[in-house]
């Protein structure tokens, strides 16, 4: 039985359109033109309990809109959504008590007070019993290592410390479903890793179902087994991260080291040269022929070392997006 | 219920963070009272009676209406529109909270804080202005405390909340709110008692919700309910409170559908 079911979800925003210029501004006072923006356009997916899923896509792809619909903030234009058996937009308190939404660029902590005060307020809002509150708070504080900052005004914390406290505030009621929208945005590499480790740990320890959106492929690579790629409001891929590579990567990357110099042309016939700087060279070869080409290389050229790799996931995703656009352009022509 | 009390408590501590801000706000209020007070003192000059008021009665009105204003009109829910526009409303919507109760309790926190501070000011103003205020009949005082003031507070809360909800449709909520302030100044009775106006106008105003925010409660304190009468006034306050409550419910339902949780 899936915990989250989304069927044919569509969300349009009404946008008020205005041409630049004073005359147009005056005109818009009288007659406003509106047009619909399809933020999410007919998407469907299911998520099982305890899954940790990564949503990726460029800015404005519809990731955040999807999370907002799932957390009950937005009313869907059409489609059926069920989370934990509830329709999110009704905002049943029984649902809200089991759910949490964290937005990397928004804060819920009271800016002028120590984080501790916001925690106590959340404890009361979610009606968490005293002993459970103490236990969970201690665990979270321990895991995130923020013991020393709980009594400092939130406005005086660093971004990293604040994000950690934001996470604690969002998790005090031990939500079964957690929506994380860009939780690592703006953080430095060390802090990103700390966040990532924490999310993984939390998912494992509490069996929480988590949807995560991020711009950073590293987040998704480290955390999510299953990835949903969204672009222009549509799901263009839903499956294991590894399957993206199988499906979309056309090349493998061969990194070579040579023991003798030789003319560049001799290497060119094996594949496309990415870089060439004796004694190192990097070439791209068609995926299926990778091992065959490598064998030939070893036979014909003075190879000292060879390494076969998949292309970086970022490059593949970029291809997925640009491919998507090309297809769209084609279908428009027809 | 406990969650809303904790909310009021944290709202209090939050209010106290900006002490200077708060003190300046209080100073402004004291100055506005003194302005109205001295203005009326000057208007009376040598006259003993104007507009059916003796000098002392008028100054008592100004004084008492000021105290009632600081209870009825002080609010935090003035932030609601801004919070809808910035998308921070999401913080309330994603929690098991009622937005209507949330802001009500923040208002209560604000009001108690203001009341607490005004006690000292009152003593001070009493000493320097020495208004002659007769102690009201115990029945009137009881009515004020348990019915009239709570209702006036609630009525203003719903009106104020309704203006906040405009934030769902437009970011330009200051113009309508400013208009509300101006209207309140003239027809709620915060600058002058409404019975100095022509009778025809008074009769019209009596059917609007505004006199019941400040003018009516003040008159009960001073023991001059005039042509509305105690029961009529309370009845109309109640009717308007219910009407505004229903409008608020309806507008909220419509607004929440167009809420786009902006800011990202």
> Residue B180's pLDDT is what?
87
Q: Which residues of B touch A71 (CB under 8 A)?
A: 94
pLDDT band for position A15 (cuts 50, 70, 90): confident
> Residue A206's pLDDT is what?
87
Are A117 and B264 in contact (CB < 8 Å)? Answer: no
Q: Note down the domain range covering B247.
A: 2-258
> Residue A221's pLDDT is what?
82
> Residue B263's pLDDT is what?
56
pLDDT band for position A3 (cuts 50, 70, 90): very high
* Chain A interface, Cβ < 8 Å to B: 13-14, 64, 68, 71-75, 91, 93, 96-97, 99-101, 103, 105-106, 108, 110, 112-113, 117-118, 120-122, 124-127, 181
Q: Does residue A66 surpass a pLDDT of 90?
A: yes
Paired sense of beta strands A177-181 and A33-47, if any: unpaired
User: What DSSP string describes A196-211?
Assistant: HHHHHHHHHHH--EEE
> Residue A128's pLDDT is what?
95
> Residue A334's pLDDT is what?
40
C-alpha distances (whole Å) from A42 to each of A45, A234, A317 are: 10, 7, 22
pLDDT band for position A278 (cuts 50, 70, 90): confident
Q: What are phi and psi of A146, to 5 degrees?
A: -125, 20
Burial class from Cβ neighbours inside 10 Å (0-12, 13-18, 19+) for residue A202 reads buried
* N-term to C-term CA, chain B: 32
| B264 domain-assigned | no
pLDDT, tens only, A211-262: 999 877 778 888 888 999 898 899 988 998 888 877 777 888 889 898 888 8
Q: Does residue A39 surpass a pLDDT of 50?
A: yes
Please state whether B31 falls in left (phi above 0), alpha (psi between -120 and 50) or beta.
alpha
Are A120 and B261 in contact (CB < 8 Å)? Answer: no
pLDDT band for position A288 (cuts 50, 70, 90): confident
B101 near B4, Cβ under 8 Å? yes
pLDDT band for position A82 (cuts 50, 70, 90): very high
pLDDT mean over A207-212: 93
The rounded distance, in Å, linking the Cα atoms of A80 and A90 is: 13
- Reported for B179-184, long-range contacts at CB under 8 A and 24+ positions apart, including other chains, are B183/B210, B184/B73, B184/B210, B184/B213, B184/B214
> Residue B182's pLDDT is what?
87
Does the predicted interface ipTM exceed a cut of 0.90? no
> Residue A29's pLDDT is what?
67
pLDDT mean over A263-291: 86
- Residue B35's contacts (CB-CB under 8 Å, 6 or more residues apart) are none
The residue ranking higher by pLDDT, B223 or A100, is A100
- B7, closest residue in chain A (CA to CA): A121
Are A106 and B264 in contact (CB < 8 Å)? Answer: yes
Other residues' Cβ atoms within 10 Å of the Cβ of residue B92: 16
Q: Which of B3, B260, B261 sits opposite A124 (nearest CB)?
A: B3
Are B257 and A75 in contact (CB < 8 Å)? Answer: yes
Beta bridge partners of A17: A33
pLDDT, tens only, B136-189: 888 888 888 889 999 999 999 999 999 999 999 888 888 888 888 888 888 998
User: What is the least distance, in Å, from the CA of B109 to any CA of chain A?
Assistant: 15
pLDDT band for position B227 (cuts 50, 70, 90): low
| B263 domain-assigned | no
Q: Does residue A194 surpass a pLDDT of 50?
A: yes
| B78 domain-assigned | yes
pLDDT mean over B25-31: 84
Q: Is CATH 3.30.70 the right assignment for the domain spanning A250-309?
A: yes
The residue ranking higher by pLDDT, A22 or B14, is B14
Q: Which residues of B touch A74 (CB under 8 A)?
A: 259-261
pLDDT band for position B122 (cuts 50, 70, 90): confident
High-pLDDT (> 90) share of chain B, %: 36
Q: Does residue B208 surpass a pLDDT of 50?
A: yes
User: What DSSP string describes B94-135?
Assistant: TSS--HHHHHHHHHHHHHHHHHHHHHHHHHHHHHHH----PP
Are B10 and A121 in contact (CB < 8 Å)? Answer: yes
Q: Which residues of A touch B255 (CB under 8 A)?
A: none
Q: Which residues of B touch A68 (CB under 8 A)?
A: 90, 261
> Residue A330's pLDDT is what?
45
The rounded distance, in Å, linking the Cα atoms of A217 and A38 is: 25
pLDDT band for position A329 (cuts 50, 70, 90): very low
- Residue A309's contacts (CB-CB under 8 Å, 6 or more residues apart) are A252, A253, A254, A255
Q: Does residue A326 surpass a pLDDT of 70?
A: no
> Residue A328's pLDDT is what?
46
Q: Which of B3, B260, B264 sits opposite A74 (nearest CB)?
A: B260
The chain-wide mean pLDDT, for chain B, equals 88
Taking the domain A48-78+91-245, which CATH number applies? 3.40.50.300
pLDDT band for position B6 (cuts 50, 70, 90): very high
> Residue B23's pLDDT is what?
83
pLDDT band for position A332 (cuts 50, 70, 90): very low
Check CB contact of B260 with chain A, cutoff 8 Å: yes
Give the total number of structural domains in chain B.
1
> Residue A160's pLDDT is what?
87
Q: Does residue A313 surpass a pLDDT of 80?
A: no
The residue ranking higher by pLDDT, B134 or A62, is A62
> Residue A18's pLDDT is what?
66
Are B10 and A118 in contact (CB < 8 Å)? Answer: yes
High-pLDDT (> 90) share of chain A, %: 42
Check CB contact of B17 with chain A, cutoff 8 Å: yes
C-alpha distances (whole Å) from A157 to each of A98, A195, B10 are: 28, 16, 19
Residues of chain A with CATH 3.30.70: 250-309
Q: Highest mean pLDDT range out of A43-47, A197-201, A235-239, B167-171?
A: A43-47
Other residues' Cβ atoms within 10 Å of the Cβ of residue A74: 27
């Amino acid at each position: 039985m899936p915990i989250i079911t989304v069927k044919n979800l569509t969300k349009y925003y009404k946008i008020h359109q205005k041409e630049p210029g004073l005359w147009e501004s005056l005109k818009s006072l009288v007659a406003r033109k509106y047009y619909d923006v399809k933020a999410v356009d007919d998407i469907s997916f299911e998520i099982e309990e305890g899954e940790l899923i990564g949503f990726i896509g460029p800015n404005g792809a519809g990731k955040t809109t999807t999370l907002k619909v799932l957390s009950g903030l937005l009313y869907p234009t059409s489609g059926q959504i069920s989370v934990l058996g509830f329709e999110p937009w009704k905002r049943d308190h029984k649902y809200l008590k089991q759910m949490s939404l964290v937005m990397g660029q928004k804060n819920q902590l009271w800016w002028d007070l120590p984080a501790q005060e916001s925690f106590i307020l959340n404890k009361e809002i979610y009606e968490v019993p005293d002993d459970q509150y103490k236990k969970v708070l201690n665990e979270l504080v321990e895991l995130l290592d923020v013991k020393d900052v709980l009594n400092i005004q939130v406005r005086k914390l660093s971004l990293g410390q604040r994000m950690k406290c934001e996470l604690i505030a969002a998790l005090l009621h031990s939500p079964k479903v957690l929506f994380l929208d860009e939780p690592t945005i703006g953080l430095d590499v060390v802090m990103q890793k700390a966040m990532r480790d924490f999310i993984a740990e939390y998912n494992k320890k509490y069996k929480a179902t988590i949807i995560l959106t991020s711009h950073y492929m590293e987040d998704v690579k480290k955390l999510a087994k299953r990835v949903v790629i969204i672009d222009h409001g549509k799901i263009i891929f839903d499956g294991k991260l590894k399957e993206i590579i199988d499906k979309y990567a056309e090349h493998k990357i061969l990194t070579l080291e040579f023991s003798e110099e030789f003319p560049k042309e001799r290497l060119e016939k094996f594949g496309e040269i990415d870089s060439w700087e004796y004694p190192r060279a990097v070439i791209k070869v068609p995926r299926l022929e990778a091992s065959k080409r490598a064998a030939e290389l070893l036979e014909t050229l003075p190879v000292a070392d060879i390494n076969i790799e998949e292309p970086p996931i970022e490059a593949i995703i970029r291809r997925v997006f640009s491919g998507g656009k090309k297809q769209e352009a084609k279908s428009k022509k027809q | 219920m406990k969650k809303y009390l904790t909310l009021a408590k944290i709202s209090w501590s939050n209010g106290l963070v900006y002490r200077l801000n708060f003190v300046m706000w209080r100073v402004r209020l004291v100055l506005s009272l003194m302005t109205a007070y001295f203005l009326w003192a000057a208007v009376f000059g040598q006259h003993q009676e104007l507009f059916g008021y003796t000098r002392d009665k008028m100054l008592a009105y100004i004084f008492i209406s000021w105290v009632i204003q600081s209870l009825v009109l002080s609010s935090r829910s003035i932030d609601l529109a801004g919070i809808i526009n910035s998308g921070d409303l999401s913080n309330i919507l994603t929690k098991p909270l009622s937005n209507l109760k949330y802001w009500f309790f923040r208002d209560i926190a604000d009001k108690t804080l203001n009341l607490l501070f005004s006690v000292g000011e009152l003593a001070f103003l009493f000493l320097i202005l020495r208004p002659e205020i007769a102690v009201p009949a115990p029945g009137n005082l009881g009515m004020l405390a348990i019915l009239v003031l709570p209702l006036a507070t609630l009525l203003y809360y719903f009106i104020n909340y309704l203006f906040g909800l405009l934030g769902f449709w437009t970011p330009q909520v200051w113009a309508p709110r400013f208009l509300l302030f101006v209207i309140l100044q003239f027809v709620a009775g915060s600058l002058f008692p409404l019975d100095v106006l022509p009778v025809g106008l008074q009769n019209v105003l009596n059917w609007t919700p505004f006199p019941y925010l400040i003018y009516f409660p003040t008159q009960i304190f001073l023991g001059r309910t005039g042509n509305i009468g105690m029961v009529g006034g309370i009845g109309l306050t109640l009717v308007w409170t219910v009407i505004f409550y229903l409008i608020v419910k309806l507008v909220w339902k419509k607004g929440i559908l167009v809420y786009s949780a902006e800011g990202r």
